[in-house]
Amino acid sequence: MSEAVSAPAVVAWMRAFAATVAREREYLTELDAAIGDADHGINMERGTQAVLAKLEGASAAGAAGGLGPLLKTVGMTLVSTVGGAAGPLYGTLFLAMGTAAGEATELSLAAWAATLDAGVAGVRARGKAEPGDKTMLDALLPAVEALKSAAASGLSLEAALQGSVAAAEQGMTATVALVARKGRASYLGERSAGHQDPGATSSWLLLQTAAETLAEQEGGGTTP
């Protein structure tokens, strides 16, 4: 197990996330059909497949670099290929993470937590949403807080990632009872309660695949 997040680990993460989104496309779309435009699964699959193609193309060309450029490539691809509100929000997540990561080739748990924190802050600012608004933030914010707490407590990367998934799952499940205050779902008012938010669900899947992949790769660079 690696105790640092490397560029190969992030590529493996994106591959796993794309495969998971493809597998759960209909489920995500079903969730979105209840309170949105019924296209979240389709849009996310299109975006993640485009990310795979972009990353494979960069690999074939022999491109190499720090985590920042890699994460920004993911973000820009998602912005340009994912439809609806999810594209700008997921794109912002990865673009802000890329800015925070800079040229580092590896990130310690504490640095990774700070990187994800920057990404989530970007999503929060872009979507102008707050906890409890029934959005992807309801999964992302608890996850990043759990990750930061784990780093401060000296937990392993693997344990920290697992803890972040558990926090995200709890936040995702909590969206069922919430009344949406942002996005297409907010038009339904009280009728949005009783349905799980699709963005929070895809965010949970993102963090779940992170836990499955990020600690698996052995790194070889400098860990801030």
Task: Say whether pLDDT at 223 is over 50.
Answer: no
Q: For residue 219, tell me if it sits in a domain.
A: no
Please work out, in degrees rounded to the nearest 5, the angle formed at the alpha carbon of residue 118 by the alpha carbons of 215 and 56: 50
Report CA 16 to chain centroid distance, whole Å: 12
Q: How far apart, in whole angstroms, are the C-alpha atoms of residue 206 and residue 14?
A: 9
pTM > 0.85: yes
Q: For residue 192, tell me if it sits in a domain.
A: yes
Task: Say whether pLDDT at 31 is over 80.
Answer: yes
Q: Supply the CATH number for residue 159's domain.
A: 1.25.40.340
Q: Are 177 and 187 in contact (CB under 8 A)?
A: no
Q: Are 166 and 155 in contact (CB under 8 A)?
A: no
Tally of domains within the chain: 1
Q: For residue 181, tell me if it sits in a domain.
A: yes
pLDDT at position 188 is 73
pLDDT bin (cut points 50, 70, 90) of residue 61 is very low
Q: For residue 116, tell me if it sits in a domain.
A: yes
User: Which stretches of the chain are assigned E, i.e. beta strand?
Assistant: 4-6, 106-108
Closest alpha carbon to 68 in 102, 36, 37 = 102
Amino acid 79 reads: V
Amino acid 62 reads: G
pLDDT, tens digit (0-9, with 9 covering 90-100), for 121-155 = 999 999 999 999 999 999 999 999 999 999 999 99
pLDDT, tens digit (0-9, with 9 covering 90-100), for 86-126 = 999 999 999 999 999 999 999 999 999 999 999 999 999 99
Q: For residue 163, tell me if it sits in a domain.
A: yes
Domain that holds residue 65: 4-213
pLDDT at position 187 is 64
